[in-house]
Amino acid sequence: MLQIQNTLVSLDLVERFFCCDLAACKGQCCLEGDAGAPVTPQEDARIKELLPLIDDLLLPAAKRQIAECGTSYRDPEGELVTQLVENRNCVFATLDEDGTWICALEKACRQGRTDFLKPVSCHLYPVRIKEFPTFTAVNYDRWKICHGAEVMGRARGIRAYRFLEGPLRRRFGDEWYDELALTCEEYLRQYPSEP
């Protein structure tokens, strides 16, 4: 683990290679899993405001789920997460023309409809954040559906912390990320072997 300010960062973020490969995984992270995507209460409130702007991008079953149950729920651990359609895909997951699952919130943002990209937990994936009373854990979540991303990352020489620079800056700020990057570079100089 690396200590960066009040966080403990998994060495996997430094040692692992990662670069999303949507052609390989088809956005399965929007479809698979045992719960929806973690959201903060502020994100959930913002998403509710944006619903009229993204309604045409949502799947019919997702619209029904949101109408009946809202945009989020508390999972068994008490964490606020996005609703699921039939206990499977996130309500904001929609299919692109080529059969790739994509986030309707992100699609709307990229089309210029909103300024909200998507929940930070989704933007950070495969990083998962866990808050503790005295520190925040920043972990790398290895999942078989992201194997293609690890292969592509290795082929391109992109470490996970570099690929995730934007979302890490969004979540923790520029000063934190700059310190992380310097620490990772020093770690890789000292321990250059690959996992």
Q: What is the pLDDT of residues 85-131, one digit of tens each?
A: 988 889 999 888 888 888 999 999 999 999 999 999 989 889 999 98
* 38-61 pLDDT per residue, tens: 999 999 999 999 999 999 999 999
Cis peptide before 126 (omega within 30 of 0): yes
Give the single-character DSSP code of 129: E
Mean of the pLDDT values across residues 166-187?
Answer: 96
Domain ranges of the chain: 1-18+126-195, 26-121
Indicate the pTM of the whole model: 0.85
- Tell me the C-alpha distance between 167 and 93, whole Å: 19
Which of 2-11, 78-87, 159-168 is the least confident region? Answer: 78-87
Percentage of the chain modeled with pLDDT above 70? 98
